[in-house]
Amino acid sequence: MILPGLLPEGYRDRLPPEADASARLVRCVLDTATGYGYERVSPPLAEFEDGLRAGLKTASVQDLLRFVDPVSQRTMAIRPDITTQVGRIAATRMAHHPRPLRLSYGGPVLRLKATQLRPEREMMQVGAELIGLDTVAAALEIVSVAVEALSRAGVSGVTVDFTLPDLVDHLSAGPLPLEAGAVSEIRALLDAKDAGGLVARGGAAFLPLIEAAGTFDAAIARLRTFDTQGALASRLDGLERIAAAIRDKVAITLDPTERHGFEYQNWFGFSLFAEGVSGEIGRGGSYSIVHPDGREEPAIGFSLYCDPLVDAGLAAEARRRLFVPFGADPAEAARLREQGWVTVAALTEDDSPAAQICSHILRDGAPQAL
């Protein structure tokens, strides 16, 4: 027998004030993106599986929750990520739009399985994508939007961790050549910070990259020393330009070989962390969108996941609810709502501010704190 109100593992109800905090966080991100010229799109929660799989270049293909559409009798899937849907829109319905194309989005995503760090299977994802460019200027704008959005939402203690997702590929095609088939192994060993495994696999030349992880200034200095042939000069210059724009607002670190979660990013990636929150609260970076004709288009963007922030209480806002006693003039309440108050009218004589969780009461035509 299923207990009343019991939900499947990884799903939950958001009650007040947490549901309000989640909505406020989504609104802050979207409003911030709107201020930078990002227009909102709203893809469907589910699509045909074939179309959704086509845009997924990572292991998240296995995260698809599938079902059969009773109308078309085709297999459909619920989205585990909205970024790929935005890419589809940009490559099809908005392919004619002048570039760069700025789009924002927000909505729930569902995953087939949870992880130990993220037990939720349903999450609220919100973010922005810039289609048509993946330059340093585009990266700087995307990072700035993400940082400003978190600040507006009241999230403090933010850390931005930069990475160079295709670093091994770039170096193996230039100053540090590797035999065919070794690139993926070297990437995995660097991601795991396995120095012994690197030496055993013939990747000793890549060892300095493990030591390069840390605070941004120290890490970038180590990378400059490592890059004796200048193969990374333009990328490091770009990272320093981005860091200079945000260093007075957030803490900055650099892990040049971090790959987890960046499997489809190319030259640039970043993770977002907040003090008091376990694990990432979001990530972003540069990638490619594949058009129906096979043409690839550069893009860059970020996604935030609201749930860990809400759980940590970082997006909460003090309740400011005004109790309107029974029989009060409705025009008074209307006037105060225009001033930004939330008014809660008593519908019975025995109603009270405490019962309605109010912080103020309407007395003599004015709000009074309780």
Instruction: Report the mean per-residue pLDDT for the chain.
Output: 92
d(CA 214, CA 165): 16
Whether 59 shows a pLDDT value over 60: the answer reads: no
Instruction: Please check whether residue 86 is in contact with residue 105, taking contact to mean a CB–CB distance below 8 angstroms.
Output: yes
* Rounded average pLDDT over 14-20: 92
When mean pLDDT is compared across 53-62, 210-219, 356-365, the lowest value belongs to 53-62
Residue 53 CA to residue 262 CA, distance in Å, equals 17
How many Cα atoms are found within 13 Å in the side-chain-facing hemisphere of 149?
A: 33
Residue located via tokens 């929660």:
45
Residue with tokens 């924002």, as numbered in its chain: 104
The residue ranking higher by pLDDT, 292 or 141, is: 141
Alpha-carbon span 263 to 290, nearest angstrom: 16
Residue type present at position 282: G
pTM of the model: 0.92
Give the 3-state secondary structure percentages of the chain, helix then strand then coil, rounded to 5.
35, 25, 45
Which residues are CB-contacts of 218 (< 8 A; sequence separation ≥ 6)? none
Radius of gyration for the chain, computed over Cα atoms and rounded to the nearest angstrom: 24
The amino acid that residue 90 corresponds to is A
Q: What's the rounded mean pLDDT across residues 127-151? A: 97
> What is the C-alpha separation between 269 and 55, in angstroms, rounded?
19
Of the pLDDT bands very low, low, confident and very high (cuts 50, 70, 90), residue 3 is confident
Q: Give the closest residue to 37 by CA, choosing from 85, 98, 108.
A: 98
DSSP 6-65: ---TT--PPPTTHHHHHHHHHHHHHHHHHHTTPEE----SEEEHHHHHHT--SGGGGG-E
Look at residue 56 and tell me whether its pLDDT is greater than 60. Answer: no
